[in-house]
Every structure is written in C-alpha cells, then in structure tokens.
Amino acid sequence: MNLIDYPRWPSLARESILNVPMDLRSIRLSIDGKVIDYSGDIDSVIITGMGGSGVVGDIINDLCLFWDCRVPIIVSKNMRLPRRLSRPLVIAISYSGNTAETIMSANEALARGYPVIGITTGGRLSTALSAKGVPVILTPKASAPRYGLPALLYPALIILERFSVVSVTNELESGISGIENALKHVDDAVNLARQLVNSVPVVWVTESRRGVGIRFKNDLNENAKYYSVVSVVPEGAHNDIAAVITKQNGLKHVAIMGPNDYEGRYEEVLIDVISSFGAKPIIVKLEGKMPLELEMYGATYLGITTLALAELLGVEPVSTEPIDRLKNLLNERKVFQV
C-alpha cells in the first residue's frame, strides 16, 4: 500500500520547527495607521484555517484540555473572525496559501490591529503578509494539505510557546514517537479499513479527542471519498445515540479512546448502551503517554486506515475534484474579496 507522505511525517515535523523565527516577539509594525506590537500581552489565540489546515486548531484545542494553556484557543473556520475580541494573537494557516477564507480572516485581523502570523507553503497569503512585514513561516510541501499536517501543526505549537501560552518543548519528540509507533501498525489499520467497507462510519469521540475524530472524518471524506459522521461525547449522548434504536443498516460505529481521557468512563458506558441495541462498535485505542503523542498516533493511524480503505475501494486518494471545482467556481463568481 502506498502510504504517500506519512513516512515523511517525522522529518516534516522536525524541519518545520527550524523555520520558526526566533524574533517573533520583537516585531512591531505600522499597518494602515495601526501599530501592531508582537511583544504585547495576549488574552486569546485565534487559529484560522480550512480543511487540512484548519484541523490544526482542532488538535491544539484537544491538547489544551490536557495542557495548562494560559489563554483560550479559538478555532475559526470561516471567512470572518469572531467579534468582541480584545488582545488576540491570530495564527493564519493555509497550506497552499491561496485559501480565500483564511486570507480574508488574516486581512480582517490586521485591519483590527491584531498581531498575525502566517503558516503556509507560499501562495497569496505569503505574498500579502510578507509585503506588510507580517511574519510568515514557510513549511515543507507534501502531496496535499492533509498530508502535511505535522509541518503545519509543529510551527503553531512553537508559536504558542514563544508567546508563553504553553510549554511544548518536552512533548515535541513524543509526538514524533506517536507517528513512528502508528507507522508500525499498518496491518492493523488495513484490518480496520476492511471492517468499514460498505458502511457509513459513525465516529464517537470525547470532547478531548474532537480533533482526532474530525481529522479521521475528513480523511475518510478526502482519501476514501467516503461519507461519515462525527458524534462528540457527551453532547452526542443526548441526541445522536437515539438513532441506534432503529435498524440503521450500513452504519458502523467507531469509538476513539485515549488512556487518560477524563470522559473515558462516560464513553465506555455509551458503548455499552450502543451495544445493547445490537450494534458492534469498533474500539480504537490511542497509544502513548503524552498528550501530543496520543494525538499524533491517532491522526497517523487513522489516516493510514483511510488510505487502506481507498485502496480496497479502488479510489485514488490524493485528488479532491469536487473541492477543486467549488474553489474555481467561487473564484469565477467573485464570492470572495481578497
């Protein structure tokens, strides 16, 4: 099976770290009459991005449920930023650098006088920000945005440390260990993929693993061209679970669990209830000890699972023609002003 860029993930992570400038906090800009001082205190971090770039924010949100993050992390997957913000740092992530929604969000942040840092491989985002003196972290390229996850995530983690949001240095190598461990379980991933053939996966995750669940769902969509649903516990236990009492032919329940999830016992009871209605949930246990290690194990292992599913289905995993067609039509109709 072709693992595409997954074997490169450890090197992508390490290489991308080296591209983060040391002087981020010393930057001071004047843009359209507003002074933007990167040395000032911040009270939140907005991570804006879409698709394979946007999932970085979801994963960091997971991690902050285990880490002692000093300020809230706000994930923005939109063309506008949230209102009523005071002193946020904005991390604008676009693998291609041409994501219109992210460019619009970055421009809006600068217009409001917020410090912005771009993470990208180039494109219009890099050009626009660099022209204004805004720091841009250029990352190594992969076959597609979703295959470059570590190259987008690791710089964002370093930025959080530079801005004293959280200390991450002692976990960076553990995250890479999680990737390497998952790469040893390709046969298990193939077996999981076989169980998903001819089904609609319902992915059950706790709030503290939301990012892993969203990433799995997105990879099922893009790699295997497979529809799936994510249900987040405990909220999903108050609505989605009601559907298991009917005969939902074709559904396959997949529960993702980490060893230290504070909602773990809750999810175990949920699985028992689902089973009592005749379903046979598949349990995916994340391996590792450190929060980043567990997240990276999950993203890697489940990503490989979707590549295996694509191969079983005879689907080409890299291309995403409907997404490309949508972007082209949005541009033709001038939906975005960037």
- Quickly state the pLDDT bin for 260 (edges 50, 70, 90): confident
Q: Is 222 a catalytic residue?
A: yes
* Predicted local distance difference test score (pLDDT) of residue 249: 75
Which domains, ranges and CATH numbers included, belong to the chain? 6-167 (3.40.50.10490), 175-313 (3.40.50.10490)
Q: Pinpoint the alpha helices (H) of the chain.
A: 9-17, 51-64, 100-111, 123-131, 149-162, 172-182, 186-196, 210-222, 264-276, 291-313, 321-332
Tokens in use for 175? 């995250």
Longest distance between any two alpha carbons in the chain, whole Å: 64
Tokens in use for 36? 């933007």
Check pLDDT > 80 for residue 281.
yes
* Predicted local distance difference test score (pLDDT) of residue 300: 98
- Among residues 222, 263, 267, 295, the one annotated as catalytic is 222
Check pLDDT > 80 for residue 248.
no
Pairing of strands 34-37, 28-31: antiparallel
pLDDT digit string, tens, across residues 120-173: 999 999 999 999 999 999 999 999 999 999 999 999 999 999 999 999 999 999
334 CB-near residues (< 8 Å, 6+ apart): none
Angle at 149 between CA 26 and CA 158, to 5 degrees: 25
Q: Is 287 a catalytic residue?
A: no
* Predicted local distance difference test score (pLDDT) of residue 247: 64
Using CB atoms within 10 Å of the CB of residue 259, give its burial: 0 to 12 exposed, 13 to 18 middle, 19+ buried.
exposed
* Predicted local distance difference test score (pLDDT) of residue 243: 87
Q: Is 327 a catalytic residue?
A: yes
- Among residues 132, 141, 185, 327, the one annotated as catalytic is 327
- Quickly state the pLDDT bin for 211 (edges 50, 70, 90): very high
**Mean pLDDT across the chain, nearest whole number?**
96
User: Which of 310, 277, 301 minimizes the C-alpha distance to 197?
Assistant: 310
